[in-house]
Structure 1
């Protein structure tokens, strides 16, 4: 866009040249709603989600390798390491993961609006945010042992857990880079390189574990350090790809400026509710484990809960990856000011999620008598797991659409709604139902999972109501304001954003160079202002 001014003594005339790509931002795009468009959208979402599924399975395999080496060290190391991982999930990893998701709508919508510079700024600001949050988390981890003892844990288990988490401290630094880098690439539909980098990291994970545990005999310290090395390798691979592929050149991801220290309002407004939403869901399962210790057969119920959580974690990879794909599609289309396309992406995503939920439910039900045998031969644990697996399947029937709905809300920059839905569903409905059925009505272990089922059903109903009532035109306007992509003068009053001189010069240069290649619209605007 370029401006030319002429003076006639009393009036000022501005000539605004708007190229066709910029014209796309002026009016929402329409669609004809044909079946072929919905099929194409489904393939687009699946194309984005499939690499993320592979990445999730690779990361799941990494955790299984760590648990395998912990198990070889004996029961104390396995108990201490598992306790440390649970503590780290509650107090650290869930917080960092949730805060990082605040940049997802910014990056997705900025990419759709072709405001590529915002992706680099969002990346830098999010890394700084996570690094700042990691400091108090690290301090908390250093005092883990007295905290666990205060909570009633045995001293030897607390000591083993404390050793594991102390040697995991560098992981906070690495996670502060991993989460933003993955979102930064994913929102640009760069997914297969993520999978390839994760594959390289997991390829090195087993030999590093073997070196530290079996050769150097570092014990539980070695398992923790091996996990840190795996994430270090992943960060190196991601940074190497980002630099040598040239992705950073368009977005300015590696160009550190003072701008990354300003304008944190939008990021924090999205990151805080995103973190709350993620933590509320993560913490639910940890609370379930604690409640299992209060049931009639705590040893069997805790063990069965561990198997079931591993199972639902494996299944969760699929709806989670689908939600990432839907979030990217919704964010990109809203950023491009195509609300009808964003609505279509959300609709297709929800349909796919119900199909996925049905598959997950069928899987959980069909393996109810055989699945637990891969982990144990204890009769009590096998019976409990077989009883609850069909309930877990029903939970996934609701969890898949609910998770995808969260992706729609993230893509449309509405994480606060997701946090409120999770709070109401899991803690206002689910928790009282779980406690009441398990302890008051005598349903024991089964009652806890029926409580989770009630939470998931409530959550999916609320999510569907929110998505159904969404004003997509309004969300497109919000996306333009969030990315500062509203067309107009250099200072846009409606968006409250200022376009830098460098960006203006770049647009002017583009208009001048491509003038013979693009169709331009010339608008003459007269302003009744004195020009003495």
Structure 2
């Protein structure tokens, strides 16, 4: 999965005597034993064991707290599902349907668009352009808020849409009630997602975990209060979820204000935040497409389960397996966030060798995570399902598919981490094209042929996912191993320069032969993007198409 691990060092929680921060984030200009020169042999050799260990620590300081945050958010979702189940079968079905609808039409879009700011913020922090960091935060919040308005209108008409697709009247009514009270969540997430990325780009992740823990501690009492005491039913569960996100937003805002981490990057509301949108959108839209393509795949898998033999058992088993893969996904997702920040910071600082080193180390870590996930899934295939149900048919289906789901993680962990490298180097379009080709041109046909044509049923659908993950990994590794890291460092300069100015600096004049050579070089790097060189384009309009050096 491309889209939301390791512990934080105690040394990161130090009191600064020069600023009112209660933690010191990693400084992009700090010196270390790793690659003192940006163009040394680090671009052409493997990291030494000592360098790899130092890079693991650097990634771990970001990924560890991020994994904790992910586990806390997963726990929040599970708590909400438990309260829906406590209310009854109708409420559980309606809430589950509503959450699936919200994922497809809203949450995936908001989450994907927010990722567009990740490479800009990471590279801006690495190049010490703190003003750009603040401007990108403001622009992204405005982008997400404006996107939330049309999404909210879709949510308000959810019942009509569900009935048009033939859903049960009572379930559609329950789902509509749930999503109606979830509408404010769109606007809170429009602030929450950018704040997370803003802090993570600066290496500040431990406070994120603390704030998430604080909001989770309030989530259970809120559910008891709204569902148990006030007896608000399914609307109470939705309100508790929204309230928890609001609490997290408030806690993060309080941390940012009282720690003073905003001081170097804060830009007062000016017309500057209304400029530089082309660069942001050029990154946000491919990121959004990449996230949506993958999120929607799992929703389509559930729909396909509905037309198999014994759909109640297959849908229930698919739900168990998706919950399981969501839990496992927390760890490669956190690793992806960590390497995205590291690559962005190093490219922004003009250190391509270190960015390449981060990629190599993170991919080996991802391979280890994939092996661990596969072994866990295989060992627990006969026992894991019993945590969720006692139905023998559901348990049988889960036991058959769980080893296949574990094998999927062998590809999912490296390709999720690879997506982080692509985000950090401002190349989300490659990830979007890889997801489109792998999931829908490879995985979906294989799933349909095996599941229905060859009568393999439920296992055939998961073998389709395995085919998608395998092809995804191959294409991702091809993109990463052919990366010109010196070129990416030059692109980082162009991207931050363009996004930081109202008008982009024009390229120096060059002849047709030079233009063709530059376009060919970039085309070989973005082999699956299908972009072509365009006359007179500027970095503001297309920040990662052509790089021309004097």
Query: TM-score, normalising length from structure 2?
Result: 0.84
Within a 5 Å distance, the mapping from 1:406-485 to structure 2 comes to 406-484=419-497
Q: Distance in 2 between matches of 1:339 and 1:262?
A: 29
Q: Aligned residue for 2:265? A: 251
Question: Is residue 331 of structure 1 aligned with residue 344 of structure 2?
Answer: yes
1:258-295, CA deviations, whole angstroms, 9 ceiling, x for partnerless residues?
10011101000000000000000000000000000000
Q: Answer whether contact 1:113 1:332 (CA < 8 A) is retained.
A: yes
Question: Is residue 404 of structure 1 aligned with residue 417 of structure 2?
Answer: yes
Shift of 1:75: 0.3
1:3-51, CA deviations, whole angstroms, 9 ceiling, x for partnerless residues?
xxxxxxxxxxxxxxxxxx79xxxx8353654331122111111221110
Q: Distance in 1 between matches of 2:477 and 2:117?
A: 24
Give the match's secondary structure for 2:263.
helix
Q: Aligned residue for 2:65? A: 51
Give the match's secondary structure for 1:484.
helix
1:480-500, CA deviations, whole angstroms, 9 ceiling, x for partnerless residues?
1111299xxx996559799xx
Give the ranges of 4+ consecutive aligned residues of structure 1 lying more than 4 Å apart after TM superposition: 490-498
More displaced, 31-40 or 408-417?
31-40
Q: Which has the larger radius of gyration?
A: 1
Q: Aligned residue for 2:40? A: 30
Which of 186, 194, 205 matches 2:200? 186
Stretches of structure 2 that go unaligned for 5 or more consecutive residues are 1-28, 31-36, 509-537, 541-550
1:361-408, CA deviations, whole angstroms, 9 ceiling, x for partnerless residues?
001111000000011000100000000000000001100001000000
Question: Is residue 343 of structure 1 aligned with residue 353 of structure 2?
Answer: no
Q: Answer whether contact 2:67 2:331 (CA < 8 A) is retained.
A: yes
Q: Distance in 1 between matches of 2:379 and 2:126?
A: 42
Q: Answer whether contact 1:31 1:341 (CA < 8 A) is retained.
A: no
Within a 5 Å distance, the mapping from 1:172-321 to structure 2 comes to 172-252=186-266, 255-321=268-334
Question: Is residue 161 of structure 1 aligned with residue 171 of structure 2?
Answer: no
Q: Distance in 2 between matches of 1:189 and 1:172?
A: 26
Question: Is residue 111 of structure 1 aligned with residue 118 of structure 2?
Answer: no
Q: Distance in 1 between matches of 2:186 and 2:228?
A: 26
Q: Distance in 2 between matches of 1:61 and 1:305?
A: 19
Which of 48, 55, 68 matches 2:82? 68
Q: Distance in 2 between matches of 1:135 and 1:181?
A: 20
Q: Answer whether contact 2:443 2:466 (CA < 8 A) is retained.
A: yes
Root-mean-square deviation (CA, aligned residues, Å) is 1.9
Q: Distance in 1 between matches of 2:137 and 2:276?
A: 13
Q: Distance in 1 between matches of 2:134 and 2:307?
A: 49
Q: Answer whether contact 1:281 1:426 (CA < 8 A) is retained.
A: yes
Q: Answer whether contact 2:279 2:498 (CA < 8 A) is retained.
A: no
More displaced, 112-121 or 477-486?
477-486
Shift of 1:244: 1.2
More strand by share: 1
1:95-150, CA deviations, whole angstroms, 9 ceiling, x for partnerless residues?
00000000000000000000111110110000000001101100000110011111
Query: TM-score, normalising length from structure 1?
Result: 0.86
Q: Distance in 1 between matches of 2:335 and 2:168?
A: 41
Q: Distance in 1 between matches of 2:162 and 2:191?
A: 29
Give the match's secondary structure for 1:247.
coil
Q: Answer whether contact 1:29 1:337 (CA < 8 A) is retained.
A: no
Question: Is residue 99 of structure 1 aligned with residue 113 of structure 2?
Answer: yes
User: How many residues align structurally?
Assistant: 471
Q: Aligned residue for 1:520? A: none
Give the match's secondary structure for 2:389.
coil
Q: Aligned residue for 1:4? A: none
Give the match's secondary structure for 2:211.
helix
Question: Is residue 380 of structure 1 aligned with residue 393 of structure 2?
Answer: yes
Q: Answer whether contact 2:55 2:358 (CA < 8 A) is retained.
A: yes
CA 1:232–1:327: 2 relative to 1, 3 Å: same
Q: Distance in 1 between matches of 2:185 and 2:203?
A: 26
Q: Distance in 1 between matches of 2:214 and 2:290?
A: 31
Q: Aligned residue for 2:162? A: 148
Give the match's secondary structure for 1:145.
helix
Q: Distance in 2 between matches of 1:108 and 1:164?
A: 37
Q: Aligned residue for 2:24? A: none
Give the match's secondary structure for 1:190.
coil
Q: Answer whether contact 2:407 2:466 (CA < 8 A) is retained.
A: yes
Q: Aligned residue for 2:408? A: 395
1:200-229, CA deviations, whole angstroms, 9 ceiling, x for partnerless residues?
000000001100000000000100000110
Q: Distance in 1 between matches of 2:115 and 2:358?
A: 19
Q: Distance in 2 between matches of 1:262 and 1:326?
A: 29
Q: Distance in 2 between matches of 1:363 and 1:330?
A: 30
